[in-house]
A = this chain, B = another copy of it.
Amino acid sequence: MNEQNKIAVLGGGSWATAIVKMLSENLETVGWYMRNEQAIEHIKENEHNPNYLRSAELNAEQLDLSSDINTTVANYDVLIFAIPSAFLMKEMEKLSISLNDKIIFSAIKGIVPETGLIIGEHFNQVHNIPLENIGVITGPCHAEEVAMERLSYLTIACQDETKASFVGTSLESWYIKTKISDDIIGTEYAAMLKNIYAIAAGIAHGLGYGDNFQSVLMSNAIREMKRFIKKVHKMKRNINNSAYLGDLLVTGYSIFSRNRQFGNMVGKGYTVKSAQIEMSMIAEGYYATESAFKIKENNGAKTPIIDTVYGILYKNKNPKKEFKKLADNLD
């Protein structure tokens, strides 16, 4: 790895925009692929993304924008994917260029619905990227606060420490601190599981549970997350590090989290379908729930919170009754 390794971001949403902003603090040029051509024109003219994170000021001269994924992939070595997991497969189908020798960092939090894999595993198994060329960028970090340049901490995980350091250095600035980790599997599962717990927090809120219950729910959630990740990938990790507990808290306590909002609507009595229609999107945690449930059925982790959310979202169980049962299992 050296300074010549060029970095591009793939995706046009809030988190992609935030990462472009962070990289722009350090790099002369940032590659940026998004499919929306109108948004690209708007950014070039007005120096902000018209659709997401509008308050983030960008410098158009630094941006090498393209609406052709192949152009961006061809010209850059380090590719940071920030495409919602539900659209990743569709975007990857457009690729005619090999990903050999590319370094892939995932800033996606979730599961690829079609394969049921977390992003790192998906790139490894479906696209044959060797694990040492795969990394993860994880929070706790709301994109909105990056736009406001409020101090935030990122964890950059990669088995190859040099690559983690390179990406970390490219992202850090006076308002971004980075930490590197070799727990690529654990950090990615944490980022996925926290969305399920945010749905749970939302359901609880929708049902009328208060702050006392929320704190008990979160304290049980981090213990459940620890058990789950330990079954999936056993290694020495401190589950109370920011990449795990911090990420859980920033999402579980955020009224802006779409997963929490989705849960809140379900708790208030919306059907899953109508909550999704009302939100005109499907929260990441929805897919994560099914996937996590399947995984734990295989490995036997004790996950009462995931089980409860799964029953409500996929088995049409009654939220009020299920949370009453769950409450008896928390401590």
A interface list, Cβ under 8 A from B: 139-142, 145, 148, 150-153, 177, 179, 208-216, 218-220, 222-223, 226, 238-242, 245-247, 249-250, 253-254, 327-328, 330-331
How far does the alpha carbon of A72 sit from the alpha carbon of B104 in the complex, in Å?
A: 70
Residues from chain B with a CB closer than 8 A to the CB of A223 are 238, 240-241
The answer to whether residues A218 and B239 also contact, given A141-B212, A152-B212, A213-B152 and a CB cut-off of 8 A, is no
Residues from chain B with a CB closer than 8 A to the CB of A242 are 215-216, 219-220, 330-331
**A-B interface, 8 closest residue pairs, ranked by CB to CB distance from nearest:** A215-B250, A219-B246, A150-B210, A152-B212, A140-B215, A215-B249, A215-B246, A145-B210
Determine which of B153, B179, B219, B238 lies in contact with A245 in the assembled complex, contact meaning CB atoms within 8 Å.
B219
Determine which of B140, B150, B239, B327 lies in contact with A151 in the assembled complex, contact meaning CB atoms within 8 Å.
B327
Q: Tell me how far the C-beta of A4 lies from the nearest C-beta in chain B, rounded to whole angstroms.
A: 29
Known: A215-B242, A223-B238. 14 other contacts (CB 8 A): A139-B212, A140-B212, A140-B215, A145-B211, A145-B212, A151-B327, A152-B212, A153-B331, A177-B327, A179-B331, A211-B253, A218-B249, A242-B330, A242-B331
Residues from chain B with a CB closer than 8 A to the CB of A215 are 140, 242, 245-247, 249-250, 253
The answer to whether residues A241 and B253 also contact, given A150-B213, A212-B152 and a CB cut-off of 8 A, is no
Query: Is A241 in contact with B209, judged by CB distance below 8 angstroms?
Result: no
Q: Tell me how far the C-beta of A267 lies from the nearest C-beta in chain B, rounded to whole angstroms.
A: 14
How far does the alpha carbon of A140 sit from the alpha carbon of B150 in the complex, in Å?
A: 29
Residues from chain B with a CB closer than 8 A to the CB of A177 are 327-328, 330-331
Residues from chain B with a CB closer than 8 A to the CB of A150 are 208-210, 212-213
Most B CB contacts (10 A, CB to CB) among A152, A242, A254 go to A242
- Can you report 20 A-B residue pairs in the complex whose CB atoms are below 8 A from each other? A139-B212, A140-B215, A140-B219, A142-B210, A142-B211, A148-B210, A150-B213, A151-B210, A152-B213, A152-B216, A153-B216, A153-B330, A177-B331, A179-B331, A214-B249, A215-B253, A216-B242, A218-B249, A219-B242, A239-B240
Q: Tell me how far the C-beta of A54 lies from the nearest C-beta in chain B, rounded to whole angstroms.
A: 18
Residues from chain B with a CB closer than 8 A to the CB of A226 are 240
Q: Tell me how far the C-beta of A305 lies from the nearest C-beta in chain B, rounded to whole angstroms.
A: 14
CB nearest to A249 among chain B residues: B215
Query: Is B241 in contact with A240, judged by CB distance below 8 angstroms?
Result: no
Q: Tell me how far the C-beta of A309 lies from the nearest C-beta in chain B, rounded to whole angstroms.
A: 18
Q: Tell me how far the C-beta of A232 lies from the nearest C-beta in chain B, rounded to whole angstroms.
A: 19
Residues from chain B with a CB closer than 8 A to the CB of A253 are 211, 215, 253
How far does the alpha carbon of A222 sit from the alpha carbon of B330 in the complex, in Å?
A: 20
Residues from chain B with a CB closer than 8 A to the CB of A218 are 245-246, 249
How far does the alpha carbon of A212 sit from the alpha carbon of B141 in the complex, in Å?
A: 5
